[in-house]
Structure 1
Amino acid sequence: MLNWHLAVSVLGGGAVGLGLFLLVREALPAAPALGPALRRLHQPPGLSRPGGAAGRDLDWLSGVARWLRPPHRQLALIGQTPEQYALSLVLSGLIGLASPALLSTALFIAGVRPPIVLPTVAALGFAFVTMLMAHRSVLVKAERARREFRQAVCAYLDLVALQLSAAHGPVQALERAAEVCDGWVFERVREALRMAQLQMHAPWDELRELAEKIGIPELGDVGAIMQSSGTEGAQVHESLRGRADSLRDQIRTDSLARAEAVTSRLDVPGALLVFVLVGFVIYPFMARI
């Protein structure tokens, strides 16, 4: 006969031993992984942004990410990888699939038995809606980050012009101007300049590469203007200030356009409210006829 007390004791001791082994293994310092460190060194300016999620090994989602065709520029701007984007869509779809199933289970316990077609169709519909919402959330975050990046580039243009006015060279002006301010935008710029220094590239080429990657052409304009200063020796103070002024005007125009769009959307509920009030006023007279 099997001794259950002995079996439980053996299993419990094994579990405790496994737990102690894992604790000791995690506490010991591990050798650094050279391959990921080299990949981080040679990749374009990073996908790091304050408040972003910690990096995870999501290589198994690469195939799913390629099938979903993620918006690469938007993801690079907000500091996400295609694998993280695919994971968010997959989790959102699973939540959408599970919600009708849980509701059907609750109805079944309550004594209500809906047809099997209804929860199936509802699960597919919820999954599609939740995945669409996750995709839309990425686009909204990217649009907000793009507006913030453009405003920071406008300040960066003025700072670079000031550094050039202080008799600094073009490369030094780019680096000193990026060190003045904090924030995730200037962190991305500083990282691009560090990568250019480590890889012995021209800093304006690295800035234009970053601008192409994240879809911010205004940052590429900084690189183009500074390239003329570094290679041709041109005086670009006025060019930088003029580009900053035109960018401010463009940002102001875009802000006014968004405000007008929001105002026009608010006119619809206001008109509906007027119709409702008119209906309340006219109904007593119509009821007496």
Structure 2
Amino acid sequence: MLFGLAVALMLMPLLPARPQLRAVQDGVPLADPAAGSKLSVQDRIAGWALRVLPEPLTMRLSAADLDIVGITRVEHTWKKVFAALLMGVGLLVMSVAAQLVLSVPLWFGLIFAVGLAAVGWLLPDAEVVSRAKQAREEFGRSVAVFVELLAAERRRDAPPAVALENAAAVSDSWAFRRIRQELLRARYNKVQPWAALETLSMQLKVPELGDAARIIALSGDKGASVYEPLRALGKGLRIRMLNEDAAREARASDTMSNIVTGVAVMFVVIILTPMLLTLLG
């Protein structure tokens, strides 16, 4: 019965379904009838999971974390479904084999299968959170360079909008490409570029970019001289990054010291154990 239910649940998203407007509100991709395109099996399964499962299960991860690592909610949900099915069904098959060969009770394996499926469901969230943290650190370093370049552009009296575009065009890293895309979108949407960058900083939860955007906004909106504030911001970002690197190295040093101390204690215990056993005997 359990295997039949699992197969039915896996085949259900593949069956023809009536269109639902709620799918658009939930951000589930829909096929384009004009282009004749069809959703892939992964997208249909992930869309079904987003529509049916409770939000605490599918919306635990923030949109900012998904955005900064460059994956959509549907792709992430498919990874969660695949990991849960792979680990849960795999252990369930092993439990059935253990029951047939070793007479192990099936309920014992079912409990572990459910727990392992829950772990598989949560693992992609932990991976994205870790990747998002590293991406924000890398983006912050790129913003520090961007601020220095922006200060140099303002030093030579470049207009604020031109200074932003010239500073963003220096590097081809993913952070600078994202800044260039936002500046290009702002130009076509007739939005001030510093306002677009501040929106991007809130969208990605990168406050360093928001600080630079607010400083350059003083020059664009009020004509203020922002060279010194930009240099001060760049210096502050560099000092903060150096402090974070030093703290990270100190933690790594402490961890290594603890490992070496633990190995030394174990070595002493190994040497003293035969002597103590001899004395006690």
- CA 1:60 to 1:174, structure 2 compared with 1: closer, same or farther past 3 Å? farther
Contact kept, 8 Å, 2:194 with 2:216, in 1: the verdict is: yes
Q: What's the CA shift string for 1:120-145, capped at 9, x where partnerless? A: 01101111222222211111100110
Q: What's the CA shift string for 1:218-263, capped at 9, x where partnerless? A: 0001110110001111111111111001001111111222222233
Contact kept, 8 Å, 1:65 with 1:85, in 2: the verdict is: no
1:141-220 aligned at under 5 Å gives the runs 141-220=131-210
- Letter paired with 1:102: V
- Select which of 51, 59, 64 maps to 1:73: 64
- Displacement of 1:269: 2.9
Contact kept, 8 Å, 2:43 with 2:78, in 1: the verdict is: no
TM-score under structure 1 length normalisation? 0.76
User: Which residue of the partner structure matches residue 82 of structure 2?
Assistant: 91
- Displacement of 1:115: 0.2
Contact kept, 8 Å, 2:96 with 2:106, in 1: the verdict is: no
Q: What's the CA shift string for 1:14-45, capped at 9, x where partnerless? A: xxxxxxxxxxxxxxxx9769xxxxxxxxxxxx
Distance 1:61 1:178 in 2: 39
Q: Which deviates more, 213-222 or 160-169?
A: 160-169
Contact kept, 8 Å, 2:99 with 2:105, in 1: the verdict is: no
Distance 2:107 2:125 in 1: 27
Contact kept, 8 Å, 2:88 with 2:114, in 1: the verdict is: yes
> For structure 2, which runs of at least 5 residues remain unmatched after alignment?
1-32, 37-41
- CA 1:266 to 1:132, structure 2 compared with 1: closer, same or farther past 3 Å? farther
User: Which residue of the partner structure matches residue 274 of structure 1?
Assistant: 264
- CA 1:187 to 1:56, structure 2 compared with 1: closer, same or farther past 3 Å? farther
Distance 2:250 2:120 in 1: 30
Aligned residues: 238
Distance 2:167 2:138 in 1: 18
Relative contact order: is structure 1 or structure 2 higher (C-alpha 8 Å, sep ≥ 6)?
1
Contact kept, 8 Å, 2:87 with 2:117, in 1: the verdict is: yes
> For structure 1, which runs of at least 5 residues remain unmatched after alignment?
1-29, 34-54
Larger radius of gyration: 1
SS at match of 1:180: coil
Contact kept, 8 Å, 2:43 with 2:74, in 1: the verdict is: no
SS at match of 1:94: helix
- Displacement of 1:157: 0.3
Distance 1:61 1:146 in 2: 29
User: Which residue of the partner structure matches residue 102 of structure 1?
Assistant: 93
- CA 1:164 to 1:187, structure 2 compared with 1: closer, same or farther past 3 Å? same
User: Which residue of the partner structure matches residue 7 of structure 2?
Assistant: none
Contact kept, 8 Å, 1:96 with 1:123, in 2: the verdict is: yes
- CA 1:234 to 1:61, structure 2 compared with 1: closer, same or farther past 3 Å? farther
- Displacement of 1:180: 1.1
2:214 aligned with 1:224: yes
- Displacement of 1:278: 0.9
SS at match of 2:102: coil
Q: What's the CA shift string for 1:64-100, capped at 9, x where partnerless? A: 4844222221111111222222222111111121221
- Select which of 100, 103, 109 maps to 1:113: 103
